[in-house]
A = this chain, B = another copy of it.
Amino acid sequence: MIRLLLADDQHLVRGALAALLALEDDLEVVAEVGRGDEVLPAVLDHQPDVLLLDVEMPGLDGLAVAATVAKEAPRVRVMIVTTFGRAGYLRRAMEAGALGFVVKDAPADALADAVRRVGRGERVVDPALAAQTLAGGVSPLTGRERDVLVAARGGATVADIAQRLFLSEGTVRNYLSSAIAKTSTRNRAEALREAEERGWL
């Protein structure tokens, strides 16, 4: 019997996944949580075999949770289940010590199977996404270029970014310019979209 802990902020989806997994008689959902910061206490409390983590969660995002769980409760196998097949997520999940990575597009019966394999300590990764991640390559952006791009989200002006990162406006423009060049785009909005898709942020 594999004991599971389920973490997903969407109540409906969480309940539905629990119902789906409960159909398998070698799996048991021992607890459910809806916020990232509630995961670690619940893990320590219930000591599940496998932790199913959504990436998008309030409180603390799933990838951060994966990292802390890997440190605080290394016996627990972590599996990421996410809506968005973003290459960057997979990369960061692996770095955070997750064993499994499944997108919500996957067929329903694949989930139980993936859970069992992760329970045995195997690595389970969506093959299509793995390919995409490798194709994306390692980010050519320097740390600051990345920071400036992230700060540019939501339409911040150069002055805004400069203030937030304690840089001169000229420097901000320089970093934006080189980020734009490295993504082969024409402006920061395009650069942001491109970098995000390739998992460079």
Where the two chains meet, the residues of A that have a C-beta atom closer than 8 Å to any C-beta of B are: 9-17, 19-20, 22-23, 81, 83, 102-111, 154-155, 157, 185-193
Contact = CB atoms under 8 A, between A and B. Distances in A.
26 contacts: A11-B105, A11-B108, A12-B81, A12-B102, A12-B104, A12-B105, A12-B106, A12-B107, A12-B108, A12-B110, A13-B13, A14-B108, A15-B20, A16-B17, A16-B19, A16-B20, A19-B20, A20-B20, A83-B83, A154-B189, A154-B190, A155-B186, A155-B187, A155-B192, A157-B186, A189-B189
A102 B81 CA distance: 22
Contacts of A185: 155
Complex copy number for this chain: 2
B106 A11 contact: yes
Contact of A105 (B10, B16, B23, B192): B10
A16 B189 contact: no
A173 to B, nearest CB: 15
A160 to B, nearest CB: 9
A157 B16 contact: no
A154 B193 contact: yes
A187 B15 CA distance: 41
- For A155, A187, A193, the residue with the greatest tally of chain B CB atoms inside 10 Å of its CB is A155
A6 to B, nearest CB: 11
B9 A19 contact: no
